[in-house]
Amino acid sequence: MKFIISSSMKKRILTGITTTGIPHIGNFFGAIKPAVELSASNDAESFLFLADLHAIIKQNDHSAIEDSVKNVALAWLSAGLNPDNTYFYRQSDIPEISELAWILGCVTSKGLINRSHAYKAAVDQNKSNNLDDDKAITMGLFSYPVLMAADILIFNATHVPVGSDQIQHLEMTRDIAGRFNHIYKNDLFNLPEAITNDDAKTIPGLDGRKMSKSYNNVIPFLCPEKELQKGVMRIVTNSLEPGVKKDTKDCNLFTIYSSFASNDQINALKKLYADGVGWGEAKKLVFNDLNAIIEPVRDRYFDLLQKPDYLNDVLDHGSSKVTPIAKELLEKVRDLVGIKKIS
Ligand code: TRP
């Protein structure tokens, strides 16, 4: 069933980024750049937040959490996110989200969450290792979808751009919202719609698998130019000699290039392949064109890194913009459930 936005309801797009790890060019071209371009061009309200309470589910190393929050935030700002036309904030700065998560948990049946893919995968892994079903599974992991529902419902987002792995979480959010509305006989929460971008680019890593920190195959971009270059040089190719015609099909270097280069640039590289370009030379070209895009982002990143006050100010500003909205909604929720001044 499709959720229809009435024309009077302004589109409110919300998305969260779990702050684990340091962004790499796969994140940059696959998520950050397109989202920044979208937020600059459309007239919907756009909410973008750092999901640090989600991050601590899987990461217990406090300095890794701190580093990731800082680098993810700086990656988005360096890529051109304008905090003045976006609600850009940190999840943990809005305690109303956590309170709402608790209240929503009280109307969410455990059976619904038992069906969560992430939880089921963890249980299956335990089973296949002959361990107790729930071995090392925390309440944080289990209730992940409830916190995510609170993230979305606290601002009554109408649209949530997600990867296909998150569609189930959106369905659960709609279930939870509907359940709350039904129990408390109101229509406080609207049911948000997932937006999935089917032609979103998945950028392969050095070895051709999806670029991901867990495969140790990433090309970083929040780093000095030399390291970016080293990353490109490490892209795995076959061992054909210069002078031998190269195939663009199943060529990792070519696929990575295609994920950011213009059509003219892609065609030019195709021709070089046909002419038997050497891998060293091809990589040099890939690096130069990649570097031309990354350079301004990198310069801004290193500049902002020197100005921790700037980031704190941006996040404080974001929190002060969204807090009144969160407070207003939570006040209604508290009232509906009977948590209010004694009369
Ligand atoms: N679960 C999302 C992910 O891993 C991150 C996230 C947390 C999120 N809360 C959200 C995304 C709310 C959209 C809306 O990608």
- Is residue 213 one of the residues assigned to a domain? no
Do residues 298 and 325 share a domain? no
Do residues 177 and 237 share a domain? no
Whole-number Å distance, alpha carbon 257 to ligand 1 midpoint, is: 28
Do residues 62 and 185 share a domain? yes
Give, for ligand 1, the residue of 151, 165, 322 to mutate: max count of ligand atoms closer than 8 Å to Cβ. 151
Instruction: Evaluate if residue 139 carries a pLDDT over 70.
Output: yes
341 burial (CB, 10 Å; 0-12 / 13-18 / 19+) is exposed
pLDDT interval class at 7 (50, 70, 90): very low
Whole-number Å distance, alpha carbon 166 to ligand 1 midpoint, is: 7
Q: What is the DSSP string of 259-305?
A: TTS-HHHHHHHHHHHHTT--HHHHHHHHHHHHHHHHHHHHHHHHHHH
Do residues 163 and 298 share a domain? no
- Looking at residue 12, its amino acid is R
- What is the Cα–Cα distance from 41 to 44, expressed in whole angstroms? 9
Whole-number Å distance, alpha carbon 91 to ligand 1 midpoint, is: 11
Do residues 297 and 321 share a domain? no
Tell me the pTM: 0.93
Residue 285 backbone class (left: φ over 0; alpha: ψ -120 to 50; beta: rest): alpha
- Is residue 216 one of the residues assigned to a domain? no
Do residues 199 and 283 share a domain? no
**Cβ contacts of 34 within 8 Å, gap of 6 or more:** 197, 200
SS3 213: helix
Our count of domains for the chain comes to 2
Give, for ligand 1, the residue of 54, 94, 146 to mutate: max count of ligand atoms closer than 8 Å to Cβ. 54
Distance from the Cα of residue 282 to its chain's centroid: 31
Q: What would the pLDDT profile of 102-124 be if each residue is shown by its tens digit? A: 999 999 999 999 999 999 999 99
Whole-number Å distance, alpha carbon 55 to ligand 1 midpoint, is: 10
Strands (E), 64-106: 87-90
Do residues 192 and 245 share a domain? no
Q: What is the pLDDT of residue 200?
A: 66
Instruction: Evaluate if residue 3 carries a pLDDT over 60.
Output: no
Q: What is the pLDDT of residue 40?
A: 81
Do residues 193 and 251 share a domain? no
- What is the Cα–Cα distance from 174 to 194, expressed in whole angstroms? 10
Give, for ligand 1, the residue of 12, 13, 14, 17 to mutate: max count of ligand atoms closer than 8 Å to Cβ. 17
Do residues 191 and 322 share a domain? yes
Whole-number Å distance, alpha carbon 204 to ligand 1 midpoint, is: 22
Q: Which residue's CA is the closest to the ligand 1 atom numbered 8?
A: 16
Domain with 257, as residue range(s), is 223-303
Do residues 105 and 193 share a domain? yes
Q: What would the pLDDT profile of 34-79 be if each residue is shown by its tens digit? A: 889 888 877 789 999 999 999 999 999 999 999 999 999 999 999 9
Atom of ligand 1 nearest to the CA of 157: 14
What is the number of other CB atoms lying within 10 angstroms of the CB of residue 8? 5
Percent of the chain with pLDDT over 70: 96
Do residues 149 and 83 share a domain? yes
Closest CA to 293 of 46, 41, 37, 82: 37
Do residues 197 and 237 share a domain? no
Instruction: Evaluate if residue 189 carries a pLDDT over 70.
Output: yes
Q: What would the pLDDT profile of 237-292 be if each residue is shown by its tens digit? A: 999 999 999 999 999 999 999 999 999 999 999 999 999 999 999 999 999 999 99
* Choice among 101-115, 204-218, 285-299, 306-320 with the minimum mean pLDDT: 204-218
Percent of the chain with pLDDT over 90: 88
**Cβ < 6 A, ligand 1 pocket:** 14-16, 18, 51, 54, 148, 151-152, 160, 162, 166
Q: What is the CATH number of the domain that holds 291?
A: 1.10.240.10
Distance from the Cα of residue 216 to its chain's centroid: 19
Q: Which residue's CA is the closest to the ligand 1 atom numbered 10?
A: 16
